[in-house]
Structure 1
Amino acid sequence: MKRKLIEVALPLETINRESAREKSIRHGHPSTLHLWWARRPLAAARAVLFAQLVDDPSSRPNEFPTEDSQRAERERLHKIIEGLVVWENIRDERVLAEARAEIMKSCDGSPPPILDPFAGGGSIPLEAQRLGLEAHASDLNPVAVLINKALIEIPPKFRDQPPVFPGLGEAQIRTWRGAEGLAADVRAYGAWMRDEAEKRIGHIYPKATLSDGKHATVIAWIWARTVNCPNPACGIEMPLVRSWWLGKKKGKEAYVVPSIVRDPLHPSGLRAAFEIGHDKSQAPTASNDGTVARNGAMCVSCDAAVDLKYIRAEGQSGRIGQQLMAVVAEGYRQRTYLAPGDVQAEAARVDRPADLPHGEIPEQALGFRVRAYGMDRYSDLFTNRQLTALVTLSDLVGEARDLVLRDGLAAGRTPGEPLEGGGTGAIAYADAVATYLGFIVSRLTDYQSSITTWASNPQMEILRNIFARQAIPMTWDFAEGNPFAESSGSLVKMTAAVANALERLNGSGQSVVSQDDAASRSLAAVLSTDPPYYDNIGYSDLSDFFYVWLRRSLRPIYPRLLSTMLVPKAEELVANPFRHEGQEGARIFFESGFQRVFARARDVANSQFPNTVYYAFKQSDTSEAGTSSSGWETLLEGMVRGGWAITATWPMRTEGSGRMRDVGSNALASSIVLALRPRPTEAPTTDRRSFISALQAELPDALRKLQQGAIAPVDLPQAAIGPGMAVFSRYAKVLEPDGSQMTVRSALARINEILDQVLSEQEGDFDSTTRFAIAWYRQHGYNTGPFGDADNLARARNTSVERMDRDEILTSRAGKVTLIKPSNTSTGYDLLADEHISTWEILHHTIRILETEGVPAAGAFLATGQSRPDGAVDPDLVKELAFLLFSVAEKNGWTKDAISFNTVAQSWGDVVDASKAAPTPHQQGEFDFPEEDD
Structure 2
Amino acid sequence: MKRTFLESPNFPIREINEKSAKEKGPARPPYWEMVFWWTRKPLIGARAVIAGALLPENVDAKEFKKMIRLNENTPHRFNPQIPDKYKQYFEGKKLLDPFAGFGSIPLEGLRLGLDVTAVELLPTAYVFLKAVLEYPKKFGRLKVKVPVKELEALGLDSYAREAKKKIITSVEVPALVYDVAKWGNWITEQLKNDPEIRELYDDDVAVYIGTWEVKCPHCGKWTPIVGNWWLARVKDSKGKYQRLAYMKPKRTENGIEIEVVDLNQIVGDVSNAKVDTRKGEIVFEDEEIVKKLKPKIEKGEVDAKIRKIDGKEAVVFEVPKSNMESRRQQAFCLNCGNVMRFVDESGNHYTRKKGEGEFYVKFALRKYHQGDENYARQRLLVKVKIENNDLIFEPATKEDNAKLEKAKEKVKELLKKGDPDIPREPVPPYGSLLFGALQIIGWGFDQWYKLFNPRQLLTLVKIVKLIREVGKKVEEEKLKEGWSEEEAFKYAEAIATYLSVAQTKIINYNTLSTRWSSGSLLPNKVQGALSFRGIAMVWNWGDTNVLYIQGNSYSISKATASVMGALNYLISSLAPNLHTFSKVEVMQSDATSLSFDKSFDVIVTDPPYSIDVPYAELSDFYYVWLKRALSDVEGNKLVPRFHREAFFKKVGKKYREREVQWKEFASKEVSEFSARFYTEKEKEKLAKEHFKNLFTQAFIAMKNNLKDDGILATYYAHTSLDAWATLIEAGWQGAKLQITTAIPLNTELGSSIMRQGKLSLDTSIIAVWRKVKRDGKKVVDVRDFVEYKDPYTGEVKKVRFTEKIQLVAEEKAKQLLAHGYTGLDLLYGVIASALSVITEYEEVQRYGTKLPVLEILEKYVYPASAQAIAKALAQEVHGRVSSKEALFYLLAKLLFGKAKVSSNDVVLLSIATETNSRELISSKILLEKKEGSSKYYQLNSPQSDNLTKLEAFLKSRGIDIASPKPKNAIDTLHLLEYYAKRHPKSEFRRRYDELKQKYQSFVEEATNLALIFTSMAKNLRWDDVEFKLAEDIAEKLELIKKPQKTLMEIIGS
Question: Aligned pair 1:368/2:438, yes or no?
Answer: yes
Distance verdict in 2 for CA 1:484–1:335, change over 3 Å: same
Which whole-Å CA distance do the structure 1 matches of 2:963 and 2:877 have between them? 21
Taking the TM superposition and a 5 Å limit, the aligned residue runs for 1:389-428 are: 389-409=459-479, 412=481, 414-418=482-486, 423=487, 426-428=488-490
| In structure 1, distance between residues paired with 2:127 and 2:74 | 26
| Partner deviation per Cα, 1:833-888 (whole Å, 9 max, x = no partner) | xxxx9886575478789689xxxxxxxxxxxxxxxxx994434538999xxxxxxx
Q: Offset of 1:116 from its aligned partner? A: 1.1
Count of residue pairs the alignment pairs up: 788
2:565 matched to which residue of 1? 500
Alignment correspondent of 1:483? 546
1:687 corresponds to 2:781? yes
RMSD: 4.1
- 1:810 Cα shift? 11
Q: 1:301 is matched with which residue?
A: 335
User: For the residues of structure 1 that align with 2:674 and 2:484, how far apart are their CA atoms?
Assistant: 47
Are 2:209 and 1:222 equivalent residues in the alignment?
yes
Aligned pairs for 1:804-843 (under 5 A) are 812=988, 815=991
Q: Which residue of structure 2 lines up, in the alignment, with residue 181 of structure 1?
A: 175
Q: Match for 2:382 among 314, 326, 338?
A: 326
Q: Of the candidates 672, 678, 684, which is equivalent to residue 575 of structure 1?
A: 672
Kindly state the Cα deviation for residue 665 of structure 1 after the two structures are TM-superposed: 13
Whole-Å Cα distance in 1 between the matches of residues 95 and 875 of structure 2? 44
Normalised to the residue count of structure 1, the TM-score between the two structures is 0.76
**Letter matched to residue 608 of structure 1:** D
Q: Structure 1 pair 813/842, CA: closer, same or farther in 2 (3 Å)?
A: same
Letter in 2 for 1:241: V
Match of 1:877 in 2: 1048
Instruction: Report the 3-state secondary structure (helix = DSSP H, G, I; strand = E; otherwise coil) of the residue aligned with 2:250.
Output: strand
In the alignment, is residue 565 of structure 1 matched against residue 654 of structure 2?
Answer: no
Q: Deviations over 1:406-430 (max 9, x none)?
A: 54456x4x32244xxxx3xx33222
Counterparts in 2 of 1:126-525, with a 5 A limit?
126-163=107-144, 180-200=174-194, 201-207=196-202, 217-231=204-218, 234-249=219-234, 250-263=241-254, 270-278=255-263, 285-286=278-279, 288-293=320-325, 294-295=327-328, 296-307=330-341, 309-318=359-368, 319=373, 320-349=376-405, 350=407, 351-353=409-411, 354=414, 355=419, 356-365=422-431, 366=434, 367-409=437-479, 412=481, 414-418=482-486, 423=487, 426-458=488-520, 462-486=525-549, 487-505=552-570, 506-507=573-574, 508=577, 509-523=582-596, 524-525=599-600
Q: Is the 8 A contact 2:806 2:834 kept in 1?
A: no
Cα deviation digits, residues 36-85 of structure 1 (max 9, x gap): 2122222221121112111112xxxxxxxxxxxxxxx5532563477348
Contact 2:979 2:988 in 1 (8 A): no
Report the structure, 1 or 2, having the larger strand content: 2
User: Where does residue 83 of structure 1 map in the other structure?
Assistant: 69
5+ unaligned residues in a row in structure 1: which ranges?
A: 58-72, 209-216, 264-269, 621-628, 820-836, 853-869, 882-934
CA distance in 2, matches of 1:851, 1:736: 43
Counterpart residue identity of residue 538, structure 1: P
CA shift for structure 1 position 488: 2.6
Report % sequence identity.
24
Deviates more, 1:780-789 or 1:541-550: 780-789
What code does the residue aligned with 1:591 have?
K
CA distance in 2, matches of 1:239, 1:126: 48
Q: CA deviation at 1:6?
A: 2.0
Q: Distance in 1 between matches of 2:941 and 2:277?
A: 47
Query: Structure 1 CA distance, aligned partners of 2:878 and 2:709?
Result: 47
Query: What displacement does 1:252 show?
Result: 2.7
Distance 1:101 1:116, change over 3 A: farther
Deviation at 1:579, TM superposition (A): 2.7
Deviations, residues 173-232 of structure 1 (Å, cap 9, x unaligned): 699999943123212221221122111155234437xxxxxxxx211000121111122x
With 18-27 and 38-47 compared, the bigger mean Cα shift is at 18-27
User: Tell me, what secondary structure is at the counterpart of 2:198?
Assistant: helix
User: Cα gap change, 1:788/1:340 in structure 2, threshold over 3 Å: closer, same or farther?
Assistant: closer
Q: Which amino acid aligns with 1:670?
A: T
For the 8 Å contact 1:451–1:473, the answer to whether it is kept is yes
TM-superposed CA distance for 1:136, in Å, is 0.2
Shift of residue 387 of structure 1? 1.1
Secondary structure in 1 matching 2:699? helix
List per-residue Cα deviations over 1:750-785 (Å, max 9, x = no partner): 22222232233235543589999x989979965587
Bigger mean CA offset, 129-138 vs 187-196: 187-196
2: CA distance, partners of 1:801 / 1:335: 57
Gaps of 5+ in 2: 152-158, 235-240, 267-272, 281-319, 342-357, 632-640, 649-657, 784-799, 891-924, 926-939, 943-953, 996-1009, 1026-1040
Among 787, 809, 824, the residue aligned to 1:699: 809
Is the Cα contact below 8 Å between 1:839 and 1:873 reproduced in 2?
Answer: no
Contact 1:46 1:85 in 2 (8 A): no
Relative to structure 2, which stretch is displaced further, 346-355 or 739-748? 739-748
Give the corresponding residue for 2:95: 114
Residue equivalent to 2:834: 724
Change (3 A) 1:207 1:765: same
Q: What amino acid does structure 2 have at the position aligned with 1:360?
A: P
Contact 1:220 1:328 in 2 (8 A): yes
Mark the CA change 1:21 to 1:726 in structure 2 (over 3 Å): closer, same or farther: same
Distance 2:188 2:977 in 1: 79
Q: Which residue of structure 2 lines up, in the alignment, with residue 625 of structure 1?
A: none
1:329 partner letter: K
1:595 aligns with 2:696: yes
CA distance in 2, matches of 1:260, 1:803: 70
> How far did 1:374 drift?
1.2
Q: Aligned letter for 1:584?
A: K
Deviation, 1:519, is 2.1
1:441 Cα deviation after fit = 1.0
Q: Distance in 2 between matches of 1:482 and 1:764?
A: 65
- Secondary structure, aligned partner of 1:348: helix
- In the TM superposition, residue 457 of structure 1 has moved relative to its aligned partner by 0.6
Pairing 1:52–2:53 present: yes
876, 888, 898: which one aligns with 1:766:
876
Shift in CA distance, 402/851, structure 1 to aligned 2, threshold 3 Å: farther
Residues 12-31 of structure 1 mapped to structure 2, 5 A cutoff: 12-25=13-26, 29-31=30-32
Q: Closer, same or farther in 2 for the Cα pair 1:743/1:575, shift >3 Å? A: closer
What residue in structure 2 maps to residue 266 of structure 1? none
